[in-house]
A and B are shown apart, each in its own frame.
Chain A
Amino acid sequence: MSSLAVLQTGESVQEIQLAPVSRLDLIKYAGASGDFNPIHTIDEEAAKAGLPGIIAHGMWTMGNLAKLFTEYYEEGFVKDYTIRFRGMVFLNDVVTLKATLIEKQGNDLRFDVRAVNQNEKDVLKGEVVYQLY
């Protein structure tokens, strides 16, 4: 396991590429989160909402993105996590999760975080402040 404390400004944590988004991923998230908005799981409902297909819950992608930091739990914790949803995630999209250190201020590490799809488009973009103990 590596350490966040030794990361230099401009460096990134190991990025993660997710498996293509499946309907089961979204059904599982619906059940685990309690968000049963049908545009995330049922084709007809997505079509009624004017969408070309079901889309992932924004919070599913945001939840996934946070795992870039999970393994460092002994070093600190996610103090601030702010994101803007920039694009929709569809079935079979391949999402890559990235975090780059942009500033160190005392014990606070500020990261630019984003999730990009297979076309290199940001679907979610924001910041994490990781506070070291």
Chain B
Amino acid sequence: MFKDQIGKQSEKVKNVVERGAVKKFAEAIGDLHPIYFDEDTGRLSRYGKNIAPPTFPRVFDYGVIEGLHLPNKGLIHGEQSFHYVRPLYVGEEVYCYSQVKNYFEKKGNFGEMGFLVVENVGVDGEGNTIFTSSSTVVISEAVRKVLTK
């Protein structure tokens, strides 16, 4: 039922790697290292500035993929990956969008399970990719039935 969504993507949304948001995020994952929030540590590092934790892109706004309606309940996060060209810098602007990469169904213990693969991308102001991330979401038969009603 999501097959016709493959290839669809959202409009790019401008995000800023906000200093306060990075610190809060680092604190929430118990990784309050000064490289993420202390300005002196950042300035003296090879980056010359603070960086953000690898899973920080979770907080970005990737825009809306038109026609893709996912329930906010009953989904299982199956897999997640991040690929970085370089670390994210605190204070920089990142243009983010997402794209439906794949959808397939497989028989499992709980009936026919749907697997939706969505890729998120973050690029800099010049259009260079900083990171891509991919999420595989598992949608159970029961949830799909509700969706098609």
Q: Does A84 contact B (CB under 8 A)?
A: yes
Query: Using Cβ atoms and an 8 Å threshold, which residues of chain A touch B87?
Result: 73, 77-78
Binary B-proximity of A1-38 (CB < 8 A = 1, otherwise 0): 00000000000000000100000010011011111010
Which of B53, B58, B74 has most chain A Cβ within 10 Å? Answer: B58
Count chain A residues whose beta carbon lies closer than 8 angstroms to a beta carbon of B: 35
Q: Is the CB of B83 within 8 A of A71?
A: no
Q: Does B109 contact A (CB under 8 A)?
A: no
Q: Is the CB of B58 within 8 A of A83?
A: no
State A131–B74 Cα separation when bound (angstroms).
37
Q: Does A103 contact B (CB under 8 A)?
A: no
A46 → chain B closest CB, angstroms: 11
Query: Using Cβ atoms and an 8 Å threshold, which residues of chain B touch A28?
Result: 27-28
Q: Does B79 contact A (CB under 8 A)?
A: yes
- For chain B, what secondary structure do more than half of its interface residues adopt (helix, strand, loop), or is it mixed? mixed
Q: Is the CB of A63 within 8 A of B80?
A: no
Interface size class of B (residues with CB under 8 A): 20 to 34
Residue of A with least CB distance to B56: A63
Q: Is the CB of B83 within 8 A of A33?
A: no
Residue of B with least CB distance to A60: B29
Q: Does B104 contact A (CB under 8 A)?
A: no
Q: Is the CB of B79 within 8 A of A82?
A: yes
Q: Is the CB of A78 within 8 A of B24?
A: no
Query: Using Cβ atoms and an 8 Å threshold, which residues of chain B touch A32?
Result: 21, 24-25, 27-29, 59
Q: Is the CB of B73 within 8 A of A49?
A: yes
In-complex Cβ contact of A83 among B24, B30, B53, B79 (8 A): B79
Give chain A's interface residues, CB within 8 Å of chain B.
18, 25, 28-29, 31-35, 37, 39, 49, 58-60, 62-64, 66-67, 70-71, 73-74, 77-85, 126, 133
Give chain B's interface residues, CB within 8 Å of chain A.
21, 24-25, 27-31, 33, 35-36, 45-47, 51, 53-55, 58-59, 72-74, 76-84, 86-87
